[in-house]
Every structure is written in C-alpha cells, then in structure tokens.
Structure 1
Amino acid sequence: MAGRIDARLQELGIELPKAASPAANYVPYVISGDLVFVAGQVPFWNGELTSIGRLGDGFEVEDGRKAARTCALNIIAQVKAACGGDLDRVKRIVKLGCFVNATPDFNKHPVVANGASDLMVEIFGDAGKHARFAVGSNTLPLGVAVEIDAVVEIE
C-alpha cells in the first residue's frame, strides 16, 4: 500500500529516479541516529547525466532551477532507499547545501537553489521547509550545473 508521501508524489505526477550508486569512494547516504546525511547529488536521471553547463555562461537561471529540482529528486530517492522504501518516515528536511557552477559575476544562486527548495515543500509540506545555503563554484564534478546535499530527519 502506498504511503502518504508516495500518494502525494503520484498526485503531483512526480516520478522518482532510481537511487544512484556512488561514483567514487563514498556511500550515497549515512544514517546517524535520526538523521540521514545524503551525499551530494548531481542531476542524473536514471543513470543519464543531464544539465551540463555553467550559470552565467549560456546556461540560464531556469535551466539551473531544473537541474536543482533533478538533484532534489535524487536526494528524495536516496532518502527513500535509506528509509527502506517508506518516505512517510521523513519528519523534516533539515538542510540543503546547494553548489552552483557559475561565472564570477553570476549572483542568482538562491534562485537556482529554489528549484530544490520549492520541490521539498511541494512534496513534504511544512516538513519540507529547511535551512539552506546556496553558493557559487567555478567548477563542479563532470561539469554539472548544480550539486546538492541534504540532511533529513527520520522516524
């Protein structure tokens, strides 16, 4: 039987990607007490890398928001794996850390990060409201536009 969050995903027409395997010497998440620390997620969609580019250099803010949303979907997929498939165990999205591959003069990092933040609230309601940082970087792994990590409280 689908839980409350799975039903919400279905209602919103949102499909989660397959939880990605680590690309190097790390694990995709660590559970410590009632917290899940999700490793940085890049915009992969079921094994296919998307959103290669740099904000401020031909990659538009809306493209960055979409990349951040894809990262957030990957975060949720990792949390679902950490919770044994039961997203109803999520008590709160505690914090997101958003890195934006950007030119030195780009300054709309928070707008890009909203692609992930808005999705968390859309899916989890008040429990999706979180602390966050959004910073620029001159490069990110594999040339992706955005990378996001997360801390999530679970039951």
Structure 2
Amino acid sequence: MTHPIDARLAELGLTLPDSPAPAANYVPYVQVGNLIFVSGQISMDANGMIKGVLGDNMSVEDGAAAARLCGLSLLAQVKAACGGDFSRFKRAVKLTGFVNSTKEFGDQPKVVNGCSDLLVEVLGEAGRHSRSAVSAGALPFGVAVEIEGIFEIE
C-alpha cells in the first residue's frame, strides 16, 4: 500500500531525487532519539547545481524554486533515514536556510519559503516547522540555496 506522503507527492507530480551523497567528510543525516538531523541540501536539479546570487543575478522567484528543490532532497534523506519509506515519519521540526545573496538583499525569508511551502503542501500540518532564513556571502560550489532540517520520526 502506498504511504500517504508518497501518494501526495505523486498527486502533485513530484518525484524525490536519489538521496544525494555527502560532498565531504560528513554523513547525510544523523538520528538522535526520535529526531533526524539532515545535513544541508544544496539547490540542484536533474541538470546539476543551481548556482546564483540573490540580489545580483537571480530573482526571488528563481531562488524560491531552488529552495523547493532543496525541500525535495530533504524529504529524500528523511525517507532514507526511515528505511526507504515514510511509515515512521511524524513531522518537520526546524529548517535552517542559507541564501547566497548580496549584503543588500533582504528577502531571504521569501526564498526559503520555497522549501517551507513545499513541506506544508506535501505534509500538511506535519510540515509546519520553526525556521531560520539567513544570508550567506557564498555557498559551496556557488549554489544559490542550502537548507538543513530536523525531522521527528516514531
């Protein structure tokens, strides 16, 4: 039987990417008790990394779309942490979003909304979370957005 989260993703026409492998000396997630701490997921799609600087060569809308893709990668890591299905998933707890932006740019929350909105769209009330959205003068590989998350499982 299909889990409701998988069904909702299909209904929205969304596919989770393969769980990205770490790019350095760290693990993609760590479980402590009933919490899953997911390492930062960078903005990427099937064509590769989504690079750019908000306030310079990238619009808020493009940044939010990049953040949405980070959200799909976060969900892919959570699913992997749950053994390949969402049966143990309980809720999103906290996101920290990093936006590659100029010092004058102040719409980081609008960019990270791309991820937050996705989680609520897919998970309903279980997707509501606390959050920080901060500016970064640069991000790894020049990507536009990186988001890490904490999730509760049973």
Counterpart of 1:10 in structure 2 is: 10
Counterpart of 2:90 in structure 1 is: 91
Matched pairs, number: 154
Alpha-carbon deviations, 1:65-117, whole Å to 9, x = none? 01100111000000000001121321110000000000010000000000000
Compute the RMSD of aligned alpha carbons: 1.0
Does 13-22 or 80-89 show the bigger shift?
80-89
Alpha-carbon distance, 1:24 to partner = 0.4
Alpha-carbon distance, 1:51 to partner = 1.6
Alpha-carbon deviations, 1:19-41, whole Å to 9, x = none? 01111000000011100000000
1:115-126 equivalent positions in 2, closer than 5 A: 115-126=114-125
Counterpart of 1:132 in structure 2 is: 131
| Structure 1 unaligned blocks of 5 or more | none
> d(CA) in 2 for partners of 1:58 and 1:10?
33
1:13-24 equivalent positions in 2, closer than 5 A: 13-24=13-24
Does the residue aligned with 2:55 lie in a helix, a strand or coil? coil
TM-score (norm 2): 0.97
Percent of residue pairs identical: 56
Does the residue aligned with 1:88 lie in a helix, a strand or coil? coil
> d(CA) in 1 for partners of 2:153 and 2:81?
10
| Greater than 3 Å deviation, 4+ residue runs | none
1:50-129 equivalent positions in 2, closer than 5 A: 50-129=49-128
> d(CA) in 2 for partners of 1:3 and 1:84?
13
Q: Which amino acid aligns with 1:19?
A: S
| Structure 2 unaligned blocks of 5 or more | none
> d(CA) in 2 for partners of 1:23 and 1:69?
20
Corresponding position: 1:145 with 2:147:
no
TM-score (norm 1): 0.96
Counterpart of 1:35 in structure 2 is: 35
Alpha-carbon distance, 1:138 to partner = 0.5
Are the counterparts in 2 of residues 97 and 132 from structure 1 also a CA contact under 8 Å?
yes
> d(CA) in 1 for partners of 2:79 and 2:31?
12
